[in-house]
Every structure is written in structure tokens, then in C-alpha cells.
């Protein structure tokens, strides 16, 4: 019997299917009712395939190579493409993009990965979102960054090799619909940014922050995407001596490159062994940052949200007092009242002289070992501040890469020892971890349950 549903135009079938709940699997195929609905008949399949392949995610070099062999009509349907990297996948891509810094082995398959990625992207002309990020969804690791034995990572030169590979496939290629770009551990985007003329949301992150050379190159490249309004960038420092001696020179240069920014998040994240996750890294207090930062913010006519990695809590007129853990409740109350007063003193000129509606910095805590994000939500009416709400958050709660859960003290110590010795000796982390774990288990009276085999 002919179903009345099949008499609907494809546009209406598409609209019906778009309301069916769907959940993307780890490899980007939506294993849900939408997949089942797509396979009911040819008519429904033709109308709903664009929904099924709207978002694609790959998490290994093999999957990337397999996707390169997909039919071209299928690749053309993809709107959101994401690559989730573990340590091995990141290093393979790094060798493909940047053979100068990451080396090249004759037996390596990295060049094939670059060719596969270029082929895939060149056949996704209507792409709206591209992300090449560390995997944050693994059940046993809070962040893919935790597998790295290095404390300060060498960034990967992404643009030159990618632009050359894309030009080889399609000389006139442009991603006019691409609005969102998120890259982890990659810099030097200049050659590839002209492919994304309408980019509005951009994020470049790396643990411990990009070095000054990378930051200087970044501000040059940023001028190629003047339509960016939301920017996330993690620098090691706000200094940029190549341009200015101002302690907020990086913020100034970003303002000159993209004055239309509305949100700017410059908080730097790093891997915390105690929490086994990525957290926001507090920086040293510097007294003259406040005035320099205020002058830099005034260069943005539209900026409403700003987050910086530095500690602005030290003020000449109201210096920060120390807190002693053995102090009583009255002293604790006085301490908290004092730091709240310091914070309000710091934020006052930013409230009165800028148009910010949210302003946040990272305070190196004297009360707790990890530090806090100090944020202010500012309600404005007709440009004038009507109310100010002060929010103090733990740094891991404020981090977009944070995940729930906690690690035991034993696992924290093992992770710290493993990483430190791995850096010093240059041996592989899995082997070193096994050695460290064996040594600890022979010394500590830990209770290890016997496995049960069903």
C-alpha cells in the first residue's frame, strides 16, 4: 500500500526527517532512528541522505583514508567535518604538514594523509564547520593531550602544505559557507586562510600557549579573515616585542587586524596531572597589565566579551594580602572580602570606559593551589552599566575542554612520574608507565582485585 508520506515533496520529507532525534557515533555515522528512516525506501533515502551525512567525524588515519574513497556526491553533502586526534594521529598529521620540524620517514604514510585530507576537503564545497582537534571523548583519557610526553609542544605549520595540496586538486577552490574553524596545535595559517573568506568563528589552541614567534605570525595572518567576530587563541604571553613594548601588545595587534571582534578568549590551557584533564593556566600577577589592557580594549569598537590569562588582582592602591591555611573563619571571611574588593577595584575602569558585558581573568589563588577564574557579568542599558555580578569559578569548571570525574592520588602520582621521566629519558610512555606501575605495586600494599571471567 502506497504511504501518504511518500506523496510529499522531497523538501517536506527532509523537514520531517530533520526532527527525528539523531546521535553521531565516534566515526560520524548517525546510529539512530534517522539512519533507519533513511533506509526505508528510495524516495525517503533521496530526501534524507543530506541529514545523515550532514556531520562526519573521523578519529584515525585509516578512517580518513577510507573517507577519501567515498563517492563524491556523498562528500558534497557534508556540512560539518571534524577530525579527532590521539597522539599517534596528531604526530602523523604533523609529519604530513611540517616535515621540517617533525621529520619524515620513508616508511611513513603521512604524505598519503595529507593527500587524503586535501581530496576530502576539495569535494566538500559547502562545508560550514571544520575542526581538527585532540580527542576529548575517550572514556579512559580526559583529554588526548595527556598522552603527550612534552610539556611545551612545537606547533605544526598547517597552512603552506594544506594550501599547496588544495590548489593541486582545485585551483579556484573557495569555502564561501565556512563559518567555523577550530585547530589544535597548529599555526601558520596564512596560505590557507584565503580559502575561507567568510570565516566568523576561529579557535587556535595549544597546551601552555603559542610562543611569541607563532603569535607574531598569527596577527599577520588574522588580517586575511576580517569577518571574524569570535576568536579563541591561547598565547603563552600577551607580550609581543616585535611590535611594541606594551605588556598587552598582542591584544593591540589583534584589534588592528580584526577590529570587528565581539568575543575574545585568550586563556591558556594546560594538562593538569592532579585532575587528569585540561585546565586553564593562571599566569603571574603584573601590576601594569591593567592600564595597558584597558588601552588595548578601547581599540575594539564592538568587543563585548573578553577573557585573558593574566592575573589582574595585584593593584598598586590595594595590594593583595596573603592567606594562611591555619587561619580561623573570621580571617577567612576578611580574606574573601578583601579579594572581592580588589577585584571590584580592578574591574571598575573596564566597566566605565568599555562596552564589555563579560570580563574574566585568571587569579593565582593564595587560598587554593589551583587558582580561579574571576568573571564579571555586566548588564548595560543604553551603554551604561546597570549591574555587575562577580563570579568566581574553579579553573577546570571554566575550561571548555574540561570533563567530569576525578583521579585517585595514586593515579595522579603515577601520571606525574610517568610524564617527568618520559621527558627526561625519551622512552615511550606506555612502556614507561608499565615499568613505573610495576615498581609502585611492588612497594605499596595496594589491594588489587582478581579479574572475574564469565
pLDDT at 281 > cutoff 90? no
Residues in the chain: 454
Residue 303: closest CA among 253, 345, 255: 255
> DSSP of 184-207, one letter per residue?
ESEE--TTTGGG-TT--EEEEE-T
Residue 387, helix vs strand vs coil: strand
Least-confidence region, from 45-49, 143-147, 150-154:
150-154
Read off the C-alpha cell for 387.
549591574
**238-258 confidence digits (pLDDT tens):** 888 888 888 889 999 999 999
Q: Which of 34-43, 104-113, 357-366 has the highest mean pLDDT?
A: 357-366
Helix axes 212-222, 249-257, angle to 10 degrees: 20
Read off the C-alpha cell for 222.
588574522
**423-440 confidence digits (pLDDT tens):** 444 444 444 444 444 444
Read off the C-alpha cell for 51.
541529514
In whole angstroms, give the CA distance from residue 186 to residue 210. 9
* Maximum C-alpha span of the chain: 83
Higher pLDDT pick, 187 / 332: 187
State the pLDDT confidence band at 86, using cuts at 50, 70 and 90: confident
Average pLDDT over every residue of 56-72:
91
* Phi, psi of 68, rounded to the nearest 5 degrees: -65, -20
* Phi, psi of 31, rounded to the nearest 5 degrees: -90, 85
pLDDT at 447 > cutoff 50? no
Q: What is the DSSP letter of 368?
A: S
Q: What is the DSSP letter of 371?
A: -
Note whether 248 and 292 are within 8 A (CB).
yes
Instruction: State what percent of residues in the chain have pLDDT above 90.
Output: 31
Q: What is the DSSP letter of 392?
A: E
pLDDT at 346 > cutoff 50? yes
* Phi, psi of 252, rounded to the nearest 5 degrees: -60, -45
Residue 320: closest CA among 359, 360, 287, 351: 287
Note whether 158 and 183 are within 8 A (CB).
yes
Mean pLDDT taken over the chain: 74
Residue 157, helix vs strand vs coil: strand
In whole angstroms, give the CA distance from residue 148 to residue 157. 18
Which sign does the torsion angle of CA 348, 353, 358, 361 carry?
negative
Per DSSP, the chain holds a count of helices (H) and strands (E) of 15, 15
Residue whose entry in the numeric block shows the C-alpha cell 570587528: 260
> DSSP of 100-120, one letter per residue?
HHH---TT--HHHHHHHHHHH
Instruction: State what percent of residues in the chain have pLDDT above 70.
Output: 61
Residue 40, helix vs strand vs coil: coil
State the pLDDT confidence band at 444, using cuts at 50, 70 and 90: very low
CA angle 147, 135, 409 (to 5 degrees): 45
In whole angstroms, give the CA distance from residue 278 to residue 411. 16
Q: Where are the alpha helices (DSSP H) in 280-389?
A: 289-297, 329-353
In whole angstroms, give the CA distance from residue 123 to residue 120. 5
pLDDT score, position 414: 38
Note whether 363 and 313 are within 8 A (CB).
yes
**23-35 confidence digits (pLDDT tens):** 544 444 444 676 7
Residue 87: closest CA among 26, 139, 143: 143
pLDDT at 80 > cutoff 50? yes
Q: Which of 217-231, 328-342, 407-421 has the highest mean pLDDT?
A: 217-231
Average pLDDT over every residue of 156-164:
92
Q: What is the DSSP letter of 145?
A: G
**101-124 confidence digits (pLDDT tens):** 776 554 455 678 999 999 999 999
What are the angstrom distances between the C-alpha of 3 and each of 7, 41, 44, 47, 409? Answer: 7, 11, 11, 15, 61
**375-424 confidence digits (pLDDT tens):** 888 888 877 787 888 776 655 444 444 333 333 333 333 344 444 444 44
Residue 396: closest CA among 317, 281, 287, 315: 281
* Phi, psi of 59, rounded to the nearest 5 degrees: -135, 20
Amino acid at each position: 500500500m502506497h504511504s501518504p508520506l511518500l506523496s510529499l515533496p522531497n523538501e517536506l520529507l527532509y523537514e520531517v526527517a530533520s526532527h527525528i532525534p539523531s546521535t553521531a557515533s565516534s566515526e560520524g555515522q548517525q546510529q539512530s532512528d534517522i539512519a533507519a528512516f533513511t533506509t526505508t525506501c528510495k524516495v525517503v533515502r533521496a530526501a534524507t541522505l543530506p541529514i545523515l551525512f550532514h556531520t562526519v567525524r573521523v578519529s584515525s588515519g585509516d578512517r580518513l583514508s577510507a573517507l577519501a574513497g567515498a563517492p563524491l556526491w556523498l562528500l558534497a553533502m557534508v556540512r560539518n567535518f571534524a577530525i579527532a586526534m590521539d597522539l599517534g594521529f596528531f604526530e602523523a598529521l604533523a609529519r604530513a604538514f611540517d616535515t621540517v620540524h617533525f621529520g619524515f620517514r620513508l616508511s611513513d604514510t603521512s604524505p598519503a594523509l595529507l593527500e587524503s585530507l586535501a581530496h576530502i576537503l576539495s569535494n566538500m564545497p559547502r562545508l560550514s564547520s571544520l575542526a581538527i582537534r585532540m580527542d576529548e571523548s575517550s572514556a579512559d583519557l580526559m583529554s588526548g593531550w595527556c598522552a603527550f610526553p612534552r610539556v611545551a609542544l612545537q606547533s605544526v605549520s598547517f597552512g603552506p602544505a594544506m594550501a599547496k595540496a588544495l590548489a593541486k586538486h582545485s585551483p579556484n577552490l573557495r569555502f564561501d559557507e565556512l563559518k567555523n574553524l577550530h585547530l589544535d596545535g597548529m599555526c601558520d595559517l596564512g596560505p590557507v586562510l584565503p580559502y575561507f573568506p567568510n570565516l566568523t568563528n576561529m579557535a587556535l589552541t595549544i597546551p601552555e600557549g603559542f610562543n611569541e614567534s607563532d603569535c607574531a605570525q598569527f596577527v599577520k595572518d588574522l588580517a586575511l579573515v576580517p569577518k571574524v567576530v569570535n576568536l579563541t587563541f591561547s598565547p603563552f604571553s600577551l607580550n609581543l616585542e616585535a611590535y611594541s613594548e606594551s605588556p598587552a601588545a598582542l591584544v593591540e595587534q589583534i584589534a588592528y587586524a580584526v577590529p570587528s571582534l565581539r568575543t575574545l578568549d585568550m586563556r591558556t590551557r594546560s594538562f593538569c596531572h592532579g585532575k587528569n584533564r585540561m585546565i586553564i593556566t593562571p599566569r603571574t600577577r603584573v601590576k601594569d597589565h591593567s592600564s595597558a589592557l584597558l588601552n588595548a580594549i578601547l581599540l575594539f569598537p564592538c568587543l563585548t566579551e573578553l577573557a585573558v590569562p593574566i592575573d589582574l588582582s595585584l593593584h598598586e592602591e590595594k595590594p593583595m594580602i596573603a592567606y594562611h591555611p591555619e587561619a580561623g573563619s573570621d580571617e577567612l571571611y576578611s580574606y574573601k572580602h578583601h579579594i572581592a574588593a580588589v577585584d571590584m577595584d580592578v574591574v571598575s575602569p573596564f566597566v566605565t570606559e568599555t562596552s564589555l558585558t563579560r570580563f574574566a581573568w585568571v587569579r593565582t589563588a593564595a587560598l587554593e593551589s589551583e587558582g580561579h577564574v574571576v568573571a564579571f557579568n555586566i548588564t548595560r542599558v543604553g551603554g551604561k552599566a546597570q549591574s555587575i555580578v562577580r563570579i568566581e569559578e574553579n579553573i577546570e569548571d571554566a575550561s571548555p575542554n574540561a570533563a567530569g570525574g576525578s583521579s585517585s592520588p595514586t593515579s595522579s602520582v603515577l601520571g606525574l612520574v610517568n610524564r617527568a621521566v618520559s621527558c627526561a629519558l625519551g622512552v615511550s610512555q606506555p612502556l614507561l608507565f608499565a615499568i613505573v606501575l610495576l615498581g609502585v605495586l611492588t612497594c605499596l600494599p595496594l589491594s588489587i582485585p582478581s579479574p572475574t571471567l564469565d
